[in-house]
Structure 1
Amino acid sequence: MISRKNLYFFFKQTPEMKDIVTPLKNLAEVHGFHLVHSIEEANIIVSVGGDNAFLQAIRKTGFREDCLYIGVNTDQLGFYTDFTINDQERMIQAMKNEELEVRLYPVLEVSVNNEKPIFCLNECSIRSNVIKTFVIDVVIDDFAFETFRGDGMIVSTPTGSTAYNKSVRGAVIDPTLPSMQVSELASLNNNQYRTLGSPFVLGPDRTLLLKVVQDGNDHPIIGADNEALSLRHAKDIRIQLADRQIKVLKLKTNSFWQKVQRNFL
């Protein structure tokens, strides 16, 4: 903690957000932190916004393993943001008094058509781009598991299990369990197509291959967290847990399950 002093602030570059972030920058400098203007110089990256801003910060800064990420919300606390903009002194004191801990979050590695992999902190989603179902052959490791027909599929991390995954009745997974969860979007189950019909969880050493069957609707939308990827002709989507983890600075008194209780119960 003490040796990490180079702070980079990631936020939406609007006049309103600049006014919000300026006092936070001043406070950081007063307490001995050095503000840097490039991502490469930083060893602490502070995201200011909400959970969506945090996901963007992770993506735009390259899913770095060699720095710490901190989430500061401009409204209420989120799943990735342990502080609010109105609680600035609390954040500084927590950092100085070692009331924080580093939590490691699993990341998905996604390769489309064997191209350069992309990474996801929440989930990777595959959805139809037209009002029509499409077919996916689901392969676990080298085992042909099922043939899916429907609107799409979601593959989520444990921390992403409370997001899009939960909205389609996926399970909430403890982030201390390195795994990925596969959930269906409006699957068809009849005499021709048969799926498990419920979400399933794969361990850290599994590889999931989703093969889009070419039947005229072969341009699905691939979503990486809160971004749609500009990919066409997606045929093979290979997903596994990456060999990297994101280091997030969190309050010791604000566990994942406390957040689940606060947000949903």
Structure 2
Amino acid sequence: MKYAVLNRGDDISVSLTETFHRLANGQGLICDDEEPEIVLSIGGDGTMLQAFHRYVGQLDRIAFVGIHTGHLGFYADWKPNEIELLVQLMAENRSKDQIYPRIVKYPLIELQLDGEDTGKRTYIALNEFTLKGVENTLVAQIDINDELFEMFRGDGICVSTPSGSTAYNKSLGGAMVHPSIPSIQLAEIASINNRVFRTLGSSLILPKHHHFDIHPRKKQKLLLTVDHVNIPIDHFRSIRCRVADQTVTFIRYRPFPFWNRVREAFLGYDEHGHYNV
């Protein structure tokens, strides 16, 4: 099996990377940064986002695994002291009960930016993308399935995947969506409501067969952020958003229930009702 490792760059993540290489070599695993079968992220969810975008062109043949070296992440299910067990399971590639490993696929966002000077560009997001005004508020028309839905004025718009619904989207009052549901969610960032501009005021969840478009209503400097990447844009005709045809693949060597992660991250206690302070 061929693998690649990306780490956060801090001392513990670098040390774990060296340990992983040593253990993997002893188990016959092959390091291949160009065409890996499994990509290991050592750090946090931000490190996983970097790994995802590095290999975004190979999503159809790559699976991701995460080791978290800080707080529990939504993408990283292994702890530093479990690295030897992880390497062993990767080498064996089959549990004794024949249940694991399991392949889990999460939906992604595809956004197509139609720029006045640059033409059409396509981006893929694992967590979310945001569109914000730089010097002034964002003023835009929102169409759903090619029909006018609302006129937006405010700080910006956040569009998230189900797996990214626990991130920025949650802080905006959006719903948390299970990653098994192919959908995208649109949440407002400080919208302004008056006689001219009126928005729904709550997040929208669109299914896979729907799309929506963002049309700017005036010339304005904007900042498009796709996951962790900032993309300044001056003028564009529209941004089309939909559930991407591609999915991201995670390989599970043991259970990692989504709602358990939500409970531990936001409510602070484990399955036994004990608080993790």
Q: Who is 1:18 aligned against?
A: 14
Contact 2:13–2:69 (Cα < 8 Å) also in 1: no
Match of 1:112 in 2: 113
1:224 equivalent to 2:219? Answer no
Q: Tell me, in whole angstroms, the C-alpha distance in 2 between the residues paired with 1:18 and 1:166.
A: 31
Match of 2:170, SS state, is helix
Which whole-Å deviations, capped at 9, do the CAs of 1:208-264 have from their partners, x for residues lacking one? 1001111x5x12110101221243323311111111101111354221111001101
Judge conservation of contact 1:220–1:234 (CA < 8 Å) in 2: no
* From 64, 78, 82, the counterpart of 1:83: 78
> How far did residue 133 of structure 1 move?
1.5
Give the match for residue 67 of structure 1: 62
Superposed CA RMSD in Å reads 1.7
What is the SS of the residue equivalent to 1:20? helix
1:145 correspondence with 2:149: yes
**TM-score, normalisation: structure 1:** 0.91
State the distance in 2 between where 1:145 and 1:77 align.
Answer: 38
Deviations 1:169-191 (A, max 9, x none): 10000111100000000111111
1:90-146: CA deviation from partner (whole Å, max 9, x where unpaired): 32344434343211011111111151211001111101112x312110001111100
Which residue among 236, 258, 265 is the counterpart of 2:238? 236
Find out whether 1:51 has 2:45 as its counterpart.
yes
**Which residue of structure 2 lines up, in the alignment, with residue 254 of structure 1?**
256
In the TM superposition, 1:21-40 aligns within 5 A as 21-36=17-32, 38-39=33-34
What is residue 136 of structure 1 aligned with on the other side? 140
**Distance between the aligned counterparts of 1:145 and 1:179, measured in 2?**
18
2-structure distance, mates of 1:83, 1:17: 13
1:254 aligned counterpart, secondary structure: coil
Q: Deviations over 1:13-59 (max 9, x none)?
A: 577643331011111111221112x32x2111111111000001100
Amino acid at match of 2:107: P
Partners of 1:92 and 1:25 in 2: CA distance? 9
Greater mean alpha carbon deviation, residues 88-97 or residues 77-86: 88-97
Describe the shift of the 1:262–1:94 C-alpha distance in structure 2 as closer, same or farther (beyond 3 A).
farther
Matched, 1:186 2:190: yes
Counterpart of 1:234 in structure 2: which amino acid? F
User: Is the alpha carbon distance of 1:197 and 1:100 closer, same or farther for their aligned partners in structure 2, counting shifts above 3 Å?
Assistant: same
Answer yes or no: is 1:125 the counterpart of 2:153. no
Q: Is the Cα contact below 8 Å between 1:222 and 1:229 reproduced in 2?
A: yes
Q: Quote the residue 2:273 is aligned against.
A: none
Equivalent residue pairs, number: 256
Q: Cα–Cα, structure 1 residues 137 and 188, in superposed 2: closer, same or farther, change >3 Å? A: same
Task: Read off the aligned partner of 1:28 and give its amino acid letter.
Answer: A
Say which is worse superposed, 225-234 or 196-205, in terms of deviation.
225-234
Structure 2 segments unaligned to the other structure (5+ residues): 268-277
Contact 2:6–2:42 (CA under 8 A) maintained in structure 1: yes
**Residue identity (%):** 31
Compute the TM-score of the two structures, normalised by the length of structure 2: 0.87
